Structure 1
Amino acid sequence: MTKFVLRESALNLLERIGEQGGYSHVLLDQEMNKRRLSAKDGALLTEIVYGTLQNKRKIQFQIQPYVAKQKKIKPWVKWLLYMSVYQMVYLERIPDHAAIHEAVEISKKRGHKGISSLMNGVLRNVQRKGVQDPSTIEAKAVRISIETSHPEWLVSRWVEQYGWEVTEAMCHQNLKRLPMSVRVQPLRISRDEAITNLKERHITAIKSSVSEQGLLIEEGRIIDDRLFTEGFLTIQDQSSMLVGEMMDLKPGLTVLDACSAPGGKTTHIAEKLEDQGSVIAYDLHGKKAKLVNDKATLLQLQSIEARQADSRQLHDLHERETFDRILLDAPCSGLGVLRGKPDIKYHKSESDIFALRKIQDELLHSVAPLLKVEGKLVYSTCTVDRHENEEAVKQFLTNHHEFELDPTFAEDLPEEMQGSAGHTAYGIQLFPHQWDTDGFFLTRLVKKKEVSDRQ
């Protein structure tokens, strides 16, 4: 692919994501598969798209003096400016003249002479005079918001919940690329075998300390490797792997995964069961339930059955006290996964958090009766908002006296996570800057025997 076509592709993706609400990771994967990009071209396309999205608000501020007099700029022109400035300011290996030339040529092709003149003028000013520095902003929340391209409401909310130090560290970490991590299917291949096998094809992997099945990919493109395409391993963030590790699983158990798509945690559960037992997985959408079954087939796991249903209505499908373990990986705001899905921070609002919390409460209340006495329920989210995490668990425990926080929960965490960092009265909150993972909340509850016996 020529660099011109690649930048056109990046612009089209940014417009679809930024203006039409498309999901960055989905559209980027589709584009790379459709065009059969080389590893080098795929890496550059990913860098331009994710980098521009991650830094959009900062770039808007940086170029504001050069576009302030423009009454209205078409969306595609704005995104072309943003991605071009990103290449000039943030990517040292791309010469300014190359970024400017391609931007002007795209402007000529998609617009008219006035637009190409605007593009050339703004980018030449950036080249000669540099960009506006956000460190001069006096209001601290506004400065952090601009410097790290997070909405101001979100910065203020995190400051209220966690203070300035955690908020600033988390916002800056969200600008860094998330390390690629994968999980081996241990019934088919060991970690050591996978490391050796990958090394033969120049892919460097090291062991994760979070999961005994986890690997961190330090070099190489894993998505095209046969171990991935043939189901010997699957892509999964380390924080997400922690769920399967913390469910206290053993062969023969019956497990409910109430919100299962796309199936990473579901298949991990089956692997921890050594594929001996039963994993009943649900998703609200039939197509997503099919994705879970497809993933199970690829990984050669027989113990999973994924179905379509609203998990708030599972009492119509299952008797009380049916399951030994329940996982509720609840629908959430996703504010912990901004490193891999930077568009989320522009599409979410504070009201979304409260709307989602209502669903989280309903799900917890609905699945609780399905757990056996002395069974364990794991509640997890990929967000860092206390309202969706600690406060949701606190409310559940207030309304369900038959449950308590599992007293052995902290002892079963990986050794490096057994300290005080992230621990609360209701679980563990993983921050991206502390563990270099997604932001993630996890807790484990147990249904008490004596309360059930009195009912």
Structure 2
Amino acid sequence: MSKYVLRETALHLLTRIGEQGGFSHVLLDREIKKQNLSTQDGGLLTEIVYGTLQRRDLIDFYLQPYLTKQKKLKPWVKWLLYMSVYQMKFLERVPDHAILHEAVEIAKKKGHKGISSLTNGVLRNVQRNEARDLNEIHDPIERIAIETSHPKWLVERWMEQFGETITIEMCRANMQHLPMSVRIQPLRISKSEAMQELVDGGYEVEESIFSSQGLIIKKGNILNHPLFKNGKLTVQDQSSMLVAEMMDLEEGLSVLDACSAPGGKTTHIAEMMKDEGQVLAYDLHDKKAKMVSKKAEQLQLTSIEASQADSRKLQDIHPEHSFDRILLDAPCSGLGVLRGKPDIKYHKKEEDIYALRKIQDDLLAHLAPLMKEDGKFIYSTCTVDKHENEEAVKSFLNDHQDFTVDPSFIKDLPEPLRKSVGLSEYGLQIFPQQWDTDGFFLTRFVKR
């Protein structure tokens, strides 16, 4: 694909994501497959789209002095400027003259002479002048919000919940590339075999501290490797791998995964049980339940049965005390996965957190009776927010006096995590800057 067409594609995706609320990871993956892009072209397209989204508000701050006389820009023109400035300021390997030329050509093709002249003038100003100084912003919270392109309400919320140091570190981490991590399918390949095969193929790999099955890919596109294509590896963030590791699994158990799509944790559970036992996986949407079935099939796991259901109504299907283990990986605000899904921070509103909490409370209350007396119940989210995490756990325990956080939860964590700053009496909050992972929360309940 020519660089001109690639940048046209990036502009189309950014406009759709930024203006219509499309999901960046879904649209990017679809486009790369549709165009059958090479690793190099797919990497550049991903870099431009994610990088522009991650720094949208900072780029807008840089552009404002050159747009003061302009009427409201058409959305595509705004995103053309955003993506061009991102490349000029943050991508050293792409020469400015190439970025400028192709931006002007795109403006000519999509608009008219006035728009191409505007594009040329604004970008030449950006090229000639030093970047605007963030010290112009006197409010310290607004400054970090603009510097890291997070909504001000979210920075204020995190400052209040976690303090200044953690908040600033987290916001800055959310602007960085998230390393790819994968999980071996241990019934089909050992970790040492997988590592050797990857190293022999020119990949840089290291073991994860979060999971005995986890590998971190430091260099190389794992999606192109036969181990991934043949279902011997599956992509999963390290923090997500911790869930199955903390479920105290063994062969032959009956396990409920209440909100299972896309199936990463479901399949990990089955693997840890050596595919012996029963894993009932539910999702509210039939299409997503089918995704779980497809993932199980890819990994050649037969103990998983995926179905559509509202998990708040599973007592209509299963009697009380049916399951040895229950996993509720709850619907949440997703504020822990902003590195890989940067569009979330622009679409989420503070009130969404409170609406989601109602669903989390309902799910916890309706699933609890399904656990056996000597069972274990894991609650997890991919967010960083006390209202959805520690406070949800506290509320559940207040309403269910027969439950408690498992006293052995902390000692069962991987050793480096046992003294984490995110540990509380209610569970473990993982911050994205700590281990170069997604932000994540999990805890484990047992009966008193």
What's the counterpart of residue 87 of structure 1? 87
Q: Does 1:268 align with 2:268?
A: yes
What's the counterpart of residue 377 of structure 2? 377
Counterpart-to-counterpart distance in 1, 2:25 and 2:133: 30
Counterpart-to-counterpart distance in 2, 1:320 and 1:269: 22
State the AA in 2 paired with 1:243: V
Q: Deviations over 1:157-191 (max 9, x none)?
A: 00111111111110001000111000000000011
What's the counterpart of residue 447 of structure 2? 447
State the AA in 1 paired with 2:298: L
What's the counterpart of residue 284 of structure 1? 284
- Could you list the runs of 5+ residues in structure 2 that have no partner in the other structure? none
State the AA in 1 paired with 2:172: H
1:304-453 → structure 2 map (5 Å cutoff): 304-448=304-448
What's the counterpart of residue 246 of structure 1? 246
Give how far 1:203 is off: 2.1
What's the counterpart of residue 189 of structure 2? 189
What's the counterpart of residue 55 of structure 2? 55
What's the counterpart of residue 235 of structure 1? 235
1:96-245 → structure 2 map (5 Å cutoff): 96-245=96-245
State the AA in 2 paired with 1:167: T
Counterpart-to-counterpart distance in 1, 2:280 and 2:402: 24
Give the match's secondary structure for 1:124.
helix
State the AA in 1 paired with 2:85: V
What's the counterpart of residue 9 of structure 2? 9
Q: Deviations over 1:314-354 (max 9, x none)?
A: 00000000000000000000000000000000000001000
Give the match's secondary structure for 1:446.
strand
Give how far 1:132 is off: 1.3
What's the counterpart of residue 38 of structure 1? 38
State the AA in 1 paired with 2:83: M
Give how far 1:78 is off: 0.3
Give how far 1:136 is off: 3.2
Give the match's secondary structure for 1:380.
strand
Counterpart-to-counterpart distance in 2, 1:433 and 1:311: 33
Give how far 1:72 is off: 1.1
Counterpart-to-counterpart distance in 2, 1:133 and 1:19: 28
Give how far 1:130 is off: 2.7
Give how far 1:134 is off: 1.6
Out of 135-144 and 409-418, give the one that drifted further. 135-144
Q: Deviations over 1:407-428 (max 9, x none)?
A: 0000000010011421011000
Counterpart-to-counterpart distance in 2, 1:276 and 1:109: 59
Q: Deviations over 1:371-392 (max 9, x none)?
A: 0002100000000000000000
What's the counterpart of residue 453 of structure 1? none
State the AA in 2 paired with 1:360: Q
What's the counterpart of residue 23 of structure 2? 23
TM-score, scaled relative to structure 1: 0.98
What's the counterpart of residue 299 of structure 1? 299
State the AA in 1 paired with 2:383: T
Counterpart-to-counterpart distance in 1, 2:279 and 2:300: 14
Give the match's secondary structure for 1:210.
coil
Counterpart-to-counterpart distance in 2, 1:177 and 1:134: 23
Give the match's secondary structure for 1:306.
strand
CA contact (8 A) 1:63 1:131 kept: no
Counterpart-to-counterpart distance in 1, 2:63 and 2:13: 22
CA contact (8 A) 1:135 1:147 kept: no
Give how far 1:435 is off: 1.6
State the AA in 1 paired with 2:242: L
Give the match's secondary structure for 1:262.
coil
Counterpart-to-counterpart distance in 2, 1:276 and 1:48: 44
Structure 1 residue ranges (4+ consecutive) displaced by more than 3 angstroms after TM superposition: none
Counterpart-to-counterpart distance in 1, 2:304 and 2:314: 17
Counterpart-to-counterpart distance in 2, 1:171 and 1:337: 12
Counterpart-to-counterpart distance in 1, 2:289 and 2:247: 21
Percentage of pairs with the same residue: 67
Counterpart-to-counterpart distance in 1, 2:315 and 2:69: 61
Give how far 1:131 is off: 2.5
Give the match's secondary structure for 2:337.
coil
Counterpart-to-counterpart distance in 2, 1:93 and 1:82: 18
Give the match's secondary structure for 2:339.
coil
Give how far 1:76 is off: 0.2
The number of residue pairs the alignment matches comes to 448
Counterpart-to-counterpart distance in 1, 2:5 and 2:133: 32
State the AA in 2 paired with 1:45: L
What's the counterpart of residue 451 of structure 1? none
Out of 123-132 and 265-274, give the one that drifted further. 123-132
CA contact (8 A) 1:182 1:214 kept: yes
State the AA in 2 paired with 1:213: Q
Counterpart-to-counterpart distance in 1, 2:247 and 2:269: 8
State the AA in 1 paired with 2:67: V
Give the match's secondary structure for 1:445.
strand
CA contact (8 A) 1:244 1:268 kept: yes
Counterpart-to-counterpart distance in 2, 1:336 and 1:68: 35
- Could you list the runs of 5+ residues in structure 1 that have no partner in the other structure? 449-455
Give the match's secondary structure for 1:442.
strand
Counterpart-to-counterpart distance in 1, 2:434 and 2:224: 30
